[in-house]
Structure 1
């Protein structure tokens, strides 16, 4: 594999990591991949586990999250879901599940982080720590919102997720796109690399290839346009740019404009179904 990018964990440890290009799957792979990944999540800076509103960027994250919740549910409804039992894999602090429950979905979530699970439970959301704890085995919808890139043993994890998805169920996967304009612009500072928490860095083609191996097919996609702005904001901060808000707005806007023609948005939602 060819070395493509040398970057670092800008948000927590400042440790260095490399991204290698996997030609067969058209994706980037983080190396080294630490055995103890948990310590890279044990920080107040890892916002999806904290519900923090301490800084301007934290507040913007929470604003974008609230706007996205409605969009996520509506996008699933448009896929013609019949069985409204929903499993959210990597549920964080449970806000998506609360929103789905309000739209009459029967919900359950998986979240390995104990602190995040406690915050979700305080909101009345039931979470388990892993797939093995599930008592129910058939879900009409399984969602992974910016989660797939975090999972070690990728093929094994996908196989396990598929086993608890109904045969006619819908799998929803949202991931960053390393072929987006903002990724090319920010290079090693691109915040969506988020090493080493992100072990894999996908393209549209890599998602198709990885899931085809598991007899699953992409039946639709949807861009996550807000992500271009938020990722650009963090990337400007990592570059040390004090005018980060102004620059991030224009790079995020330009990334979305270019993606109208290239389809290479900063983040993409993929809708997948079984082919067997």
Structure 2
């Protein structure tokens, strides 16, 4: 197990136990989640060694790497994923001002996003740590994803946009990916990061049971202030923030399922609706946020 005695973001030793969270997906184990009182960064502690992490992803329910349509929640996830692909492309066009661009997607899962961009005439390459997911992406989406070490083979200033859709929170060395992203991005290139937001309405309601803690797979838990602090260290300046409209519904329904509620979808969708409405008034209430950074 890896244990942090200091804040991994600012180095302060003033850290406190926030929650004991349960791995509902695979092991049933509990993991402590700590908060830094200096910079407010939240992180999972006593995490498995990186070489042992793969076993915590071994679940048929880990749907980011599958086409599992069993059950209503998974079916909704698959439908929303298809809808969100076009929404993400519109976002990239608006923020970059480019009709077509070169993109590197880090943490591509089954390769749906790179495959979609390529189908729309964009140039897109993907990196994925899971060998099984890379194989599946080749079979299902006819796209060859690269292993993580191949990021070192990209030329300096060769990419317009780097995307990380709900992946940065999984990386044991997030700084290495941010540093590499800065190197390969062209001048004023964009870094796009989607993350769960622990300041959201649904996170505050569910507390330690909030499904988006997703321990121990989620190592780092950011809000607007801490992701800005992290990316500033690597030369990125925050440009824009977008809401992800459907995450509150999915995360809340999954939380209710984990709690073994009698009517998880109804309860979850009710909480998700309240969370979404509150986020229209206050962006920090959004369950997940997309941060657009520009290479400075």
Please give the TM-score of this superposition, normalised by the length of structure 1: 0.96
* Aligned residue among 130, 136, 140 for 2:148: 130
Do the aligned partners of 1:81 and 1:170 also contact (CA within 8 Å) in 2? no
* Aligned residue among 189, 199, 208 for 1:188: 208
* Aligned residue among 28, 50, 61 for 1:14: 28
Whether 2:132 is the aligned partner of 1:115: answer yes
Do the aligned partners of 1:89 and 1:109 also contact (CA within 8 Å) in 2? yes
Shift of residue 72, structure 1, vs aligned partner = 0.6
* Aligned residue among 227, 252, 264 for 1:232: 252
* Aligned residue among 273, 276, 282 for 1:256: 276
Do the aligned partners of 1:81 and 1:140 also contact (CA within 8 Å) in 2? no
Shift of residue 180, structure 1, vs aligned partner = 0.2
Cα separation, partners in 2 of 1:221 and 1:243, compared to 1, 3 Å: same
The residue aligned with 2:102 is 85
Do the aligned partners of 1:232 and 1:249 also contact (CA within 8 Å) in 2? yes
The residue aligned with 1:49 is 65
Do the aligned partners of 2:182 and 2:235 also contact (CA within 8 Å) in 1? no
Cα distance between partner residues in 1 of 2:176 and 2:144: 25
Cα distance between partner residues in 2 of 1:53 and 1:25: 41
The residue aligned with 1:4 is 18
* Aligned residue among 73, 96, 115 for 2:113: 96
- For the aligned residue pairs, the C-alpha RMSD in angstroms reads 1.4
Do the aligned partners of 1:25 and 1:210 also contact (CA within 8 Å) in 2? no
* Aligned residue among 43, 54, 63 for 1:38: 54
Do the aligned partners of 1:224 and 1:269 also contact (CA within 8 Å) in 2? yes
Cα distance between partner residues in 2 of 1:91 and 1:115: 12
Cα distance between partner residues in 2 of 1:250 and 1:177: 19
Do the aligned partners of 2:34 and 2:43 also contact (CA within 8 Å) in 1? yes
**1:29 alignment partner, SS class:** strand
The residue aligned with 2:10 is none
Cα distance between partner residues in 1 of 2:76 and 2:48: 30
Do the aligned partners of 1:131 and 1:160 also contact (CA within 8 Å) in 2? no
Cα distance between partner residues in 2 of 1:143 and 1:80: 12
The residue aligned with 2:5 is none
Q: Extract unaligned runs of 5+ from structure 2.
A: 1-14
Do the aligned partners of 2:185 and 2:295 also contact (CA within 8 Å) in 1? no
Q: Which runs of 4+ in 1 moved over 4 A?
A: none
Q: Extract unaligned runs of 5+ from structure 1.
A: none
1:133-157 Cα offsets, whole Å, 9 max, x none, are 5543221111000001001122233
Please give the TM-score of this superposition, normalised by the length of structure 2: 0.89
Shift of residue 238, structure 1, vs aligned partner = 0.9
The residue aligned with 1:171 is 191
1:94-137 Cα offsets, whole Å, 9 max, x none, are 11111111222111100111111111111211211114355432
